[in-house]
Copies of this chain bind each other. A is one copy, B any other.
Amino acid sequence: MSTGPTPLPAAGRRRPPRDEVRRALLDAAARTFARQGIDGASLDDVAAAAGFTKGAVYSNFGSKEGLVAALVDDRVSAYLDLGLAAVDDPAATLPERARALGDRLTAASDEQHDWHLLFLQLWQRAVRTGPADDSFVRRHGELRAAVAEAVANHAEQAGTELPLPAASVATLLLALSNGLAIERMTDPAAVPDDLMGRVLALLVGGGTTGTTGGTTGGTGPDQR
């Protein structure tokens, strides 16, 4: 039930390409760090999960700190792309896009599970090391700014007036993404699948949207 009999390159003799080793190590690090904690997981654990030994880690990343930094770079970018892609469907209305984004962010796949676990560890690390010289805080700020811009654009296109500034909506969106993930992992029953989407709809002025339909229902509350 693990990832298979032999993770990747087997103990075999072939030499895998450089990028392949890097990828395998990064993926294994994401999984292992998420599950055991960055402090709790040893480099031996990470390397073994990828089918290598500690030497491969030091050869590719120089140190544990280097591995973590590479992970930030790799994962935060991926998360940003994922979120923006979900919002960038120009055919939907604003509340629809809000719901789509919510569903996307709430999608309870193991991938998301691990991501949030990892995210919180990276965030704690960033807070502890102080506000200076930290790539995680910077990346996170970029993500928030991008979301804010997307929200503002969509609101303008839809002709809707937001009940809150776009920047605040972006902050709330990120906060809800993390906060609801926490609640969901603690008790899945406490977080309905559509909760995120409904709240986002409220935040962008969707009112009491009970509409669980896909597209704008016949009972469209606000067409003019």
Which A residues have a C-beta under 8 Å from some C-beta of B?
35-37, 39-40, 117, 120-121, 123-124, 126-128, 137, 140-141, 144, 161, 163-164, 167-168, 171-172, 174-180, 182-183, 185-187, 190-192, 195, 198-199, 202-203, 205, 208-209, 222, 224
A47 CB, min distance to chain B CBs, angstroms:
20
A68 CB, min distance to chain B CBs, angstroms:
14
8 A-B pairs closest in CB distance: A175-B179, A179-B179, A39-B39, A163-B208, A175-B180, A178-B179, A171-B190, A175-B183
Specify which chain B residues have a CB less than 8 angstroms from the CB of A195 in the assembled complex. 164, 168, 171-172
Q: Is the interface of A mostly helix, strand, loop or mixed?
A: helix
A49 CB, min distance to chain B CBs, angstroms:
16
Q: Select one of B127, B167, B186, B209 contacting A190, CB under 8 A.
A: B167
8 extra interface residue pairs, beta carbon distance < 8 Å, beyond A168-B192, A178-B178: A117-B127, A127-B185, A140-B187, A141-B187, A161-B224, A164-B199, A172-B180, A172-B195
Contact sample, A vs B, 16 pairs, CB 8 Å cutoff: A117-B124, A123-B186, A127-B186, A137-B186, A141-B186, A141-B187, A163-B208, A164-B195, A171-B195, A172-B199, A174-B179, A175-B180, A176-B179, A178-B178, A179-B180, A179-B182
Query: In the complex, A209 Cα to B141 Cα: how many Å?
Result: 27
Specify which chain B residues have a CB less than 8 angstroms from the CB of A140 in the assembled complex. 186-187
Q: Which residue of B lies closest to A208 (CB)?
A: B163
Q: Is the CB of B186 within 8 A of A126?
A: yes
Query: In the complex, A123 Cα to B39 Cα: how many Å?
Result: 16
Q: Is the CB of A198 within 8 A of B164?
A: yes
A13 CB, min distance to chain B CBs, angstroms:
36
Query: In the complex, A141 Cα to B185 Cα: how many Å?
Result: 12
Query: In the complex, A164 Cα to B191 Cα: how many Å?
Result: 12
